[in-house]
Amino acid sequence: MRANMRFVGHLFLRQLLSAKVVGGILRELVLCDAEDLAPQEHALECACELLNCVGLTLESMPYGQAVMPVVFARLQSLKAQRAADGKGAYTKRMQFTIQDLIDTREAGWTRKVFRSSAKTMEEIRASAPQGQGGETVLVGLRPCYMSGEVERFVRTHTA
């Protein structure tokens, strides 16, 4: 299911799906219109995967600017939701996944990635500050060969 969400996200990034379709999928996955119901964990995982794939691009569009606050408010409330026994309604893994997504959005859709190509010890020492590992990448961006509003948005907001 996560691969399907990534596929839907890449269709959107290549302008084969509209922002309204992706926004509708997100609202349906997190049950924004049914506050009294709690979505299943796999639906939340799919929503997080889709948001990781298209977040920056979707948020730069007018429709996305309307949908994203609603979806993230719902994710925040679901993360904090408790069951009758006082434990979290969702597993810790799901709570951390939601928190990682929220942190990624707050950081301007940048995320630290720890997998990279092999480097020599000298290259590692020269490129990374002491005590810090990994590199940051921008997530949810259209491919570089696609021209349009998103690239201008990124240039103006990261410069």
CA 107, chain centre distance (Å): 11
**pTM metric for this prediction:** 0.75
Alpha-carbon distance of 68 to 132, in angstroms, equals: 31
Count of positions (residues) in the chain: 159
pLDDT tens, 118-131? 778 887 777 766 54
Q: Exposed, middle or buried by CB within 10 Å (0-12, 13-18, 19+), for 155?
A: exposed
Residue 56, φ and ψ in degrees, nearest 5: -60, -45
Residues 6+ apart with CB under 8 A from 76: 98, 102
Give the separation between CA 79 and CA 30, rounded to whole angstroms: 11
Query: What are the pLDDT digits (tens) for 20-54?
Result: 999 999 999 999 888 888 899 999 999 999 999 99
> Using CA atoms, how far apart are residues 117 and 114, in angstroms rounded to an integer?
10
Beta-bridge partners for 110: 138
Burial class (CB in 10 A: 0-12, 13-18, 19+), 109: buried
pLDDT at 153 over 80: no
The residue ranking higher by pLDDT, 50 or 89, is 50
Q: What percentage of the chain reaches a pLDDT higher than 70? A: 83
